[in-house]
Structure 1
């Protein structure tokens, strides 16, 4: 039985087997599970108390309650989406198993789909405690945003996946010596994504760059929703359009880097 589905000849069995592999790796190590919960909770506590202080001492933020915690949670969705994808990929690199996978019937697109689905699982484990803490400790319910939250989430998770796919391809081609880019790429985008401040704060020449990034539209949309109580669909449409191009480009880059790694023997020599 090949387990192939009619859509693009993909195999649900192979994708499910990869997800099961990463799930067993995750639950077999309590430090892995702790790490998923520890950092999101720490961020909510840190920024939550900061917001309480600001609310008590500034009228503007008192009217826009939750803007900092909202930004922290949405940022964590973006960050964990990329990191959850990349960590599962790095598990194969650390185990020197990538060559075996690429010689198996597993298709690259099936591999990527499994990584994307696994990133959602890892994201849920980390974000759910974060949401509970934000709701009961700091009186901020993310779901009070309503349906716009779906648009925010989808745009952020696709940006995270696109970056995860691209940096995974770089590591695949250049070996674990390029591993640091997995941890640093998102923080490099953070100032330009305008997570905690509006785009208007940036110099004019940086604003053009900021508007090329899908997360910028999401965080601007969040601020419009929380401060002005207005949902701006044009921002989400623009973010989705950029995400579509970014996702297609990252997938094409991954395939190119994978083929380059095969030609150069990098799959079997994935060290430093």
Structure 2
């Protein structure tokens, strides 16, 4: 059937019905509405802070290469850790199988532990080639961090799991209409965790908020290690303490959202 024949059968009321269908879906889901504003605002905020840092430091480019590459790799550990956790969870949502799992003898902690393991597997598949490419093409060897790399990794992966658990609970309770939170939440935190610039670049009123986030301590610790050759154990202990609280809160939130989903019947439907 060619275009002319398609146009001949055009019916505006059917087009209008489909437009209304998508509009109602958008209007009824605040995560979808938020996503429309999200990316433009995020880009200008993140790179605006980076530009401020560059303009304040004339010698930045003389030493920034390793810092930026290291920041990119550590950021990817944080992001891919959360995404690897959440994708495995979403696989069950997409297959409408989560209700079956929750009605089985499987305990929530067992299910979450399995997701954490899958997160590590997915992360390894993505990060190892990235580290190799950085070493071959940019002469940046992440392993030169030595033992601090283990502490950096543990803090970042604990944060990613905590956020993954919390986000999974939100999707579990609100259905796939909240799925976009899985992809956007971590990027929303990106300007605050100071991946590419120090905390001092942020406005004074934002800095206390940044210090409430464990990844901020990791990226500040990385810069101290690369610029000053100093391992900031105090920063890592601070990150670990916040991560411990964050993990407990996220797990408790997941259980509350799971029970709420059971009462509301959204555990079985899992729809939009």
Q: Find the aligned partners of 1:64 and 1:249 in 2 and give their Cα distance.
A: 36
Query: Which residue number corresponds to residue 215 of structure 1?
Result: 215
Matches within 5 A, 1:42-61: 59-61=59-61
Q: Find the aligned partners of 1:134 and 1:200 in 2 and give their Cα distance.
A: 28
Does 2:89 match 1:89? yes
Q: Find the aligned partners of 1:208 and 1:77 in 2 and give their Cα distance.
A: 24
Query: Which residue number corresponds to residue 267 of structure 2?
Result: 267
Matches within 5 A, 1:65-144: 65-144=65-144
Deviation track 1:157-180 (CA, whole Å, cap 9, x = no partner) reads 000000000000000001000001
Query: Which residue number corresponds to residue 162 of structure 1?
Result: 162
Deviation track 1:16-66 (CA, whole Å, cap 9, x = no partner) reads xxxxxxxxxxxxxxxxxxxxxxxxxxxxxxxxxxxxxx9xxx754334541
Q: Find the aligned partners of 1:175 and 1:136 in 2 and give their Cα distance.
A: 43
The answer to whether the Cα contact below 8 Å between 1:194 and 1:219 also exists between their aligned partners in 2 is: yes
Q: Find the aligned partners of 1:74 and 1:149 in 2 and give their Cα distance.
A: 9
Q: Find the aligned partners of 1:59 and 1:201 in 2 and give their Cα distance.
A: 16
SS at the partner of 2:154?
helix
Matches within 5 A, 1:4-83: 59-83=59-83
Q: CA deviation at 1:105?
A: 1.1
The answer to whether the Cα contact below 8 Å between 1:64 and 1:226 also exists between their aligned partners in 2 is: no
TM-score using structure 1 length: 0.78
SS at the partner of 1:212?
coil
Matches within 5 A, 1:226-241: 226-241=226-241
Question: Whose radius of gyration is greater, 1 or 2?
Answer: 2
TM-score using structure 2 length: 0.78
Q: CA deviation at 1:264?
A: 1.0
Query: Which residue number corresponds to residue 182 of structure 2?
Result: 182
Query: Which residue number corresponds to residue 21 of structure 1?
Result: none
Number of paired residues? 216
Relative contact order, higher structure (CA 8 A, sep 6+): 2
Q: Find the aligned partners of 2:63 and 2:80 in 1 and give their Cα distance.
A: 29
Taking only aligned residues, the RMSD between alpha carbons, in angstroms, comes to 1.1
